[in-house]
Amino acid sequence: MILNAMPEHVQSRLTDYARLLRIDRPIGSLLLLWPTYWALWLAGDGSPGLGNVIVFTLGVFFMRAAGCAINDFADRDWDKHVKRTRDRPLTAGRIHAWEAVALFAGLCLISFLMVVLFTNTLTLYLSFGGVILAFIYPFMKRFTHLPQLFLGTAFSWAIPMAWAAQANELSQLTWLLFTANVLWTVAYDTLYAMVDRDDDLKVGIKSTAILFGDADKAIIGMLQALVVLILVMVGHRAGLGAFYYLGVAVMAGLFVYHQYLAKDRAREGCFKAFLNNNWAGFAVFTGLVIDLLFS
């Protein structure tokens, strides 16, 4: 491999950059990708433009990486007190803070240029909101117990952007998808926050896992139920058929499985439930694509 042929210090440096940008952990990108694809395929009536698919696929990975860089910059002093994050490259001092900021700015610039060059004016205007949300989210855990809501908005902003790029307009379906994804993100990121809840309480980091307390699983369940309900509404308004609803049913079944995994609130179970949300998003996308293909 090319990496193995490089000097050891270069390999180590590149590995740290990859860890900072979570290239080795694509789960966040996938959770962002599926709803973006929902919007592209619905707005394109099953045949989105290849250019839009390429732009938004790359944009998802670039902006997720940018978000990870600015998140670690914001949390660099607190992460050292959390078992799961204390060895992150920025926290451990192997990467400088300015490097993380530079990577965030560079990745945002690349994503912005793709929007400018390959999409339309409406998408360009919406992109400014996406950058702002990506920047402010990591700092919200200092001021509110609802940082997951800001993450949900940031993760969901790709939906109106993708819809605008494909259809050059926004509709009620756009905002229904947006709302469903915000609620879904709050649900799965609360599961993620439950993994670190004990450490977060010690250092003063705020989260919905702390805010919900003993009602955490019940509230996650209600959020998941609302996600399914809104996606059913999307199917009804878009005139979708059995394959789409089968995908939504699979998502609902996986949500029940997540409740089982998190039943004891153990770190491992909550983390497994969080990771499994990838398959929930994939199930809806698969059902949507098949339904539009045969409709």
The end-to-end CA distance of the chain, in Å, is 46
Task: Please tell me the distance from the alpha carbon of residue 70 to that of residue 139, in angstroms, as a whole number.
Answer: 9
Residue 157 forms part of a structural domain: yes
Residue 256 is predicted with a pLDDT of: 98
CATH code assigned at 69: 1.10.357.140
Query: How much of the chain exceeds pLDDT 90, in percent?
Result: 63
Q: pLDDT tens across 93-124, in order?
A: 788 888 889 999 999 999 989 988 898 999 99
Residue 176, pLDDT above cutoff 60: yes
**Mean pLDDT rounded to a whole number for the chain:** 90
Residue 171 is predicted with a pLDDT of: 95
Answer yes or no: are the C-beta atoms of 188 and 145 closer than 8 Å. no
Lowest mean per-residue pLDDT among 10-24, 31-45, 71-85, 276-290: 71-85
Query: How much of the chain exceeds pLDDT 70, in percent?
Result: 94
Answer yes or no: are the C-beta atoms of 157 and 129 closer than 8 Å. yes
Answer yes or no: are the C-beta atoms of 188 and 255 closer than 8 Å. no
Task: Please tell me the distance from the alpha carbon of residue 268 to that of residue 265, in angstroms, as a whole number.
Answer: 9
Residue 1 forms part of a structural domain: no
Q: Which two tokens stand for residue 180?
A: 């469903």
Is residue 159 very low, low, confident or very high in pLDDT (cuts 50, 70, 90)?
A: very high
Residue 81 is predicted with a pLDDT of: 62
Is residue 6 very low, low, confident or very high in pLDDT (cuts 50, 70, 90)?
A: low
Phi/psi region, residue 22 (left: phi>0; alpha: psi -120 to 50; beta: rest), is left
Residue 109 forms part of a structural domain: yes
Is residue 141 very low, low, confident or very high in pLDDT (cuts 50, 70, 90)?
A: confident
Q: What's the chain's length in residues?
A: 295
Task: Please tell me the distance from the alpha carbon of residue 103 to that of residue 109, in angstroms, as a whole number.
Answer: 10
Residue 3, pLDDT above cutoff 70: no
Residue 14 is predicted with a pLDDT of: 82
Residue 200 is predicted with a pLDDT of: 78
Average pLDDT over residues 159-165: 97
Residue 2 forms part of a structural domain: no
Instruction: Count the domains in the chain.
Output: 1
Q: pLDDT tens across 251-271, in order?
A: 999 999 999 999 999 999 999
Residue whose structure tokens are 């896992």: 209
Lowest mean per-residue pLDDT among 85-94, 119-128, 184-193: 85-94
Average pLDDT over residues 234-263: 97
**Residue 134 amino acid letter:** A
Q: Angle of helix 267-294 relative to helix 172-195, nearest 10 degrees?
A: 160
Residue 132 forms part of a structural domain: yes
62-90 b/e (C-beta count within 10 Å ≥ 16 → b): bbbbbbbbbbbbbbbebbebbeebeebbb
Residue 76 is predicted with a pLDDT of: 78
CA dihedral 118, 124, 128, 129 (to 10 degrees): -110
Is residue 27 very low, low, confident or very high in pLDDT (cuts 50, 70, 90)?
A: very high
The whole domain housing 289 covers 9-294
Residue 2, pLDDT above cutoff 60: no
Residue 4 forms part of a structural domain: no
Closest-CA residue to 135 (of 56, 187, 68, 207): 68
Choice between 80 and 231, residue whose per-residue pLDDT is larger: 231
Residue 7 is predicted with a pLDDT of: 67
Residue 50 forms part of a structural domain: yes
Residue 62 is predicted with a pLDDT of: 93
**Residue 237 amino acid letter:** R
Residue 3 forms part of a structural domain: no
